[in-house]
Chains A and B, each alone.
Chain A
Amino acid sequence: MKVHADRDRCIGAGLCALNAPSVFDQDDAGLVVVLNDSPSDAEAADAHKLAEHICPSKAILISDG
């Protein structure tokens, strides 16, 4: 699983960094930064939930492989 974040869509709500701090961070401007684009299984569940339900701007993208 690969995690990608679209910084043009991100509105800096910070929910990714709040809910999966080992995978995402928020830079000083407030926009998302991916810390680890190949998260472990445990982190993957959170990343999926973020991408599908929590990130309000649909800026988190997850692909297989």
Chain B
Amino acid sequence: MTDAVERGATCPVAPRGWPNPLLPEYDQLPEGRPLTQVTMPSGSKAWLVAQHDHIQRLLADDRFSVEPHPTFPIRFPAPQELLDMIAKDSKNLLVTMDPPRHTRVRQMALPDFTIKAVEKLRPRVQELVDEYLDRMEAEGSPVDLVQALALPLPAQVICELAGIPESERDTFTRNAAIMVGTRHSYTMDEKLAANEELMKYFATLVTEKQNNPTDDMLGNFISRASQTDEFDHHGLTLMTKMLLIAGYEFIVNRIALGTQALLDHPEQLAALRADTAGLMPKTVDEVLRYFSLVDEIIARVALADVEIDGVTIKEGEGILVLKGLGDRDPAKYADPDTFDIHRDARDHLAFGYGVHQCLGQHVARLMLELCLTSLIHRFPELRLVESDEPIELVDGLPPVHKLMVGW
């Protein structure tokens, strides 16, 4: 389903009041956001967690699991066939593994995602940003920033990290976009077909990299993993898919939304232009906090009775973490619905929390930082151009399809 939302001065797509077809109770959370119990489509019970403090405590608690469990809170009423497939595949995905296996697998990928490793990418990412901005300038004002920069940049960076040859990048970007829904709503059949094509492609890529190891993030991960018996070939293919498409839509949206938020706040933009080195790290965190409301719900199941603030979450009950609301928690951030690049928002939940916190977060930060910095300096007159097409929410998620800017 698609709902148009008007862009307001302070909040383009508010979490509260945005129609959520998956979880009607979302809208009716009591003020103060205590834990609220809901019944899942499967009939099992789950708790909605919407306070920043509760979210941090529960996501850092070892007594919650992400692995398949009979009462794991599944958000979508899905056919059994699909659930079986998810359960089978989940054995091979970092995001659905508990420690200690999660720790072992994460450490296979980690050396290429450290701050220092990611810093080495800086010159190349900057070069790409400059190229896209050259093209954008040549095209002339106004342009759609999503097509000109926000979408192609992360696609290109991911392809380079994975060592995907130029000639095969279209296949990757087209199918990845369908799977993560970056552009309009696709049917389940289209998504399944895209998934199949990607899986076939990645299966070949994995074999190639096993035979001829390459020195890129993916090549290194596959080499390390191939020295253990942690994954079979199918498992490695699934992990590859996850590593490559996990953050794609996230970063596309944050580049577009971050630009829009700055253009909506000219005073802050002026301050940022005047002191970019000093304010950009805070700006990046504030963009992440403010737009955490692209609220994919995180789920866990309790492996023991867990008491928090006088509420007992019983063994076998699930939690659904509404991190978008956590990042707009007034108990945590003063005036949370106001975009403010001067605040200290380093403890936002945009990348999750606990052992599963986003592995690729420094890559995302780097892209966001370089895009915003280059955009505001290269185009001192940058402004939003009213578009006939409002920002659309697709299936409850608000990917930005279009952001017209002029200069």
A residues neighboring B (CB under 8 Å): 11-15, 17-19, 26, 28-31, 49, 53-54, 56-58
Contacts and interface: CB of A to CB of B under 8 A. Distances in A.
B355 A56 contact: yes
Nearest to B352: A56
Contact of B114 (A14, A49, A54, A58): A14
A53 to B, nearest CB: 4
A52 to B, nearest CB: 9
Given A14-B115, A17-B115, A49-B346, A29 B110 contact: yes
Given A18-B115, A49-B346, A56 B110 contact: no
A58 B110 contact: no
B353 A29 contact: no
30 contacts: A11-B103, A11-B106, A12-B106, A13-B351, A13-B361, A14-B115, A14-B361, A15-B346, A17-B115, A26-B114, A26-B115, A26-B116, A28-B114, A29-B110, A30-B110, A30-B111, A30-B113, A30-B114, A31-B110, A53-B56, A53-B346, A53-B347, A54-B346, A54-B347, A56-B60, A56-B352, A56-B354, A56-B355, A56-B357, A57-B60
Nearest to B102: A11
A11 B115 contact: no
B362 interface: yes
Contacts of B226: none
A24 to B, nearest CB: 10
Contact of A56 (B103, B113, B353, B362): B353
A40 to B, nearest CB: 19
Given A19-B346, A26-B115, A54-B346, 18 more contacts: A12-B110, A12-B113, A13-B361, A26-B114, A26-B116, A28-B114, A28-B116, A29-B107, A29-B111, A30-B107, A31-B110, A49-B347, A53-B347, A54-B347, A56-B355, A57-B60, A57-B354, A58-B60
Interface string B167-194: 0000000000000000000000000000
B329 to A, nearest CB: 12
Contacts of B59: 56
Contacts of A28: 111, 114, 116
A65 to B, nearest CB: 26
Contacts of A17: 115
Given A19-B346, A56-B353, A56-B357, A12 B114 contact: yes
A57 B356 CA distance: 9
Interface of B: 56, 59-60, 103, 106-107, 110-111, 113-116, 346-347, 351-355, 357, 361-362
Contacts of B110: 12, 29-31
B249 to A, nearest CB: 21
Please give me the 5 A-B residue pairs with the lowest Cβ-Cβ distance, nearest first. Answer: A30-B110, A53-B347, A56-B357, A12-B110, A14-B115
Contacts of A58: 60
Nearest to A13: B357
A50 B191 CA distance: 40
Contacts of B347: 49, 53-54
Contacts of A56: 59-60, 352-355, 357
Contacts of A29: 107, 110-111
Interface centre among A29, A49, A57 (most CB of B within 10 A): A57
Nearest to B57: A58
A54 B357 CA distance: 11
Residue from A13, A26, A53 having most chain B Cβ neighbours under 10 A: A13
A56 B356 CA distance: 8
Contact of B357 (A11, A18, A30, A53): A11
Contact of B355 (A19, A26, A30, A57): A57
